[in-house]
Amino acid sequence: MKRNLIFLLLISLLLAAGIAAWWMTPRIEEISPAPGSEPLLGEQPLQIAFSRPMNPESVEAHLSAQPPQAGAISWNQAQDSLAFIPRQAWPSGETLTLRLDAGAKAQRGLPLLQSHTWDFEISPNHLVYLWPADGNSNLYALNLETGDSQALTAYPTGVLDFDVSADGLRLYYSVWHSSEESALYAFDRLTGETLPLLECSQALCRSPRISPTSRYLAYKRIPQAADESPSLRLYDLENQYTIQVGEPGHFTANARWSSRGWLAYYDHTLQAFIFVDPAGEEIAAFPNETGASGDWSPGGDVFLTSEILYLEDGLAPRHLLAFSPETGLTRDFTLKDYLEDANPVYSPGDHIAFERKCLVASCWSPGRQLWIMSSDGERAHPLTDAPDYNHTAFAWHPDGQRLAYVRYNNAQISEPPEIWVINRSGTGKTRLVINGYAPRWLP
């Protein structure tokens, strides 16, 4: 009898120890987003929640992805949940396989007992644009693989203009609700929610431009009062307050963020581009008569825009000038005279798209053509040859191998604008949308 009691006691102790060990052994509680649900978008984070506080170094050593992805891993304070944020957008249209091998340890030393593998579909790149051009336009997203187009907004008064965050997860746009009120909004692609950001009373707020970190939203405020000048404002999305950019009373516009967080804008009063660092300090000024559209190099250290050059024979060509705010040096990227170059856009790699028109009679045309050149200003050549059409609003695909653009007929102005796409090689030219404009790519 006594022996049986001892045996039962040992069995009970072993069972209790086993239950305790099982309870203390780490397990996967949740992974978000759920595999097999919606495709991954942009730089969407992946999150893994554990049943126990984990050893971060051990977990990260046992975590892998195919195809490999560079990124950052952050842990919550309790160290029982991690988030992986990719350094760039997930590879469009592919399948991501995430694996956590057995052996990843909890803080108390017990290991994960089994391996886990998850597969995630990645969304193909979409083209977002405004439509229709001849009415109150709204935002649409086009899936180039299926040809399906989805409405993202439905405002009776229409969307004026928009921008896309660097991570591809939010769209920022402006709406003019009435003659006395406009507003800025954000559309969250992960939740499908529309978030009101800022109401503008007695003014039109438009041209939103989001900073690389999504902390600041630059926008142009156009007051109704005749004695006030349009001016740039910065809205701090984290602390929810607004500041004016530049000198009070100056007419400022055309904000452009660099990948370094520098802000370029045009001061019409001074007739110059002004460059501001992330701390708000002016670092350079670049005299310019046009105030035309410009773009930053991918490294964020060179700003490229157009300027008028006055020649002795009365012609006034436009050249593309590259300006370095750090050194103050300027370089002319238009190597010949009697050309009108404008609206340059850097690719994610090593090319620049721009508009060009010849100004002499032998080669003049009503429209500007799409040209590209290398990022050092060399090897310029045309991709289009449709003399009656203006080609503009260039948007490079994230892979840098093709670009979308808008063309409209300068000889028949009643024709609606069209959105086209073309390969960098000049092949594959395809019309995508009639009566649309302002294309941008969504990763």
The set of residues, in sequence order, having a beta carbon less than 8 Å from that of 21 and lying 6+ positions away, is: 110
Instruction: List, in sequence order, every residue forming a beta bridge with 174; answer none if it has no partner.
Output: 161, 184
51-to-7, 21, 35, 46 alpha-carbon distances in Å: 33, 13, 19, 17
Q: Are 168 and 89 in contact (CB under 8 A)?
A: yes
Give mean pLDDT, residues 300-310. 95
Q: Is 128 exposed, middle or buried (0-12, 13-18, 19+ CB in 10 A)?
A: buried
Residue 11, pLDDT > 80, answer no
Distance between CA 352 and CA 371 in Å, rounded?
A: 8
- Number of Cβ within 10 Å of residue 50's Cβ equals 21
- Number of Cβ within 10 Å of residue 229's Cβ equals 16
Tell me 271's DSSP state. T
147-to-36, 126, 346 alpha-carbon distances in Å: 23, 10, 27
Distance between CA 34 and CA 30 in Å, rounded?
A: 8
Question: Sign of dihedral through CA atoms 61, 67, 70, 74?
Answer: negative
Give residue-wise pLDDT tens across range 212-223: 999 999 999 999
Q: How distant is the alpha carbon of residue 214 from its chain centre? A: 10
Give mean pLDDT, residues 243-271. 96
- Write down the pLDDT at residue 362: 87
**CA angle, corner 173, sides to 168 and 176, nearest 5?**
170
- Write down the pLDDT at residue 2: 56
The set of residues, in sequence order, having a beta carbon less than 8 Å from that of 279 and lying 6+ positions away, is: none
Give mean pLDDT, residues 387-401. 97
The set of residues, in sequence order, having a beta carbon less than 8 Å from that of 300 and lying 6+ positions away, is: 258, 259, 260, 261, 262
3-state SS assignment for residue 276? strand
Domain topology for 46-122: Immunoglobulin-like (2.60.40)
Give mean pLDDT, residues 94-121. 96
Q: What is the pTM of this model?
A: 0.92
- Number of Cβ within 10 Å of residue 116's Cβ equals 16
Distance between CA 175 and CA 185 in Å, rounded?
A: 8
Question: Sign of dihedral through CA atoms 434, 416, 173, 349?
Answer: positive
Residue 18, pLDDT > 80, answer no
Phi, psi of 366 (to 5 degrees): -65, -35
Residue 312, pLDDT > 90, answer no
- Write down the pLDDT at residue 141: 98
Tell me the average pLDDT of the chain: 93
Give residue-wise pLDDT tens across range 136-182: 999 999 999 999 999 999 999 999 999 999 999 999 999 999 888 99
Give mean pLDDT, residues 108-128. 95
Give residue-wise pLDDT tens across range 46-91: 999 999 999 999 999 999 999 999 999 999 999 999 999 999 999 9
Length of the chain: 443
- Number of Cβ within 10 Å of residue 127's Cβ equals 22
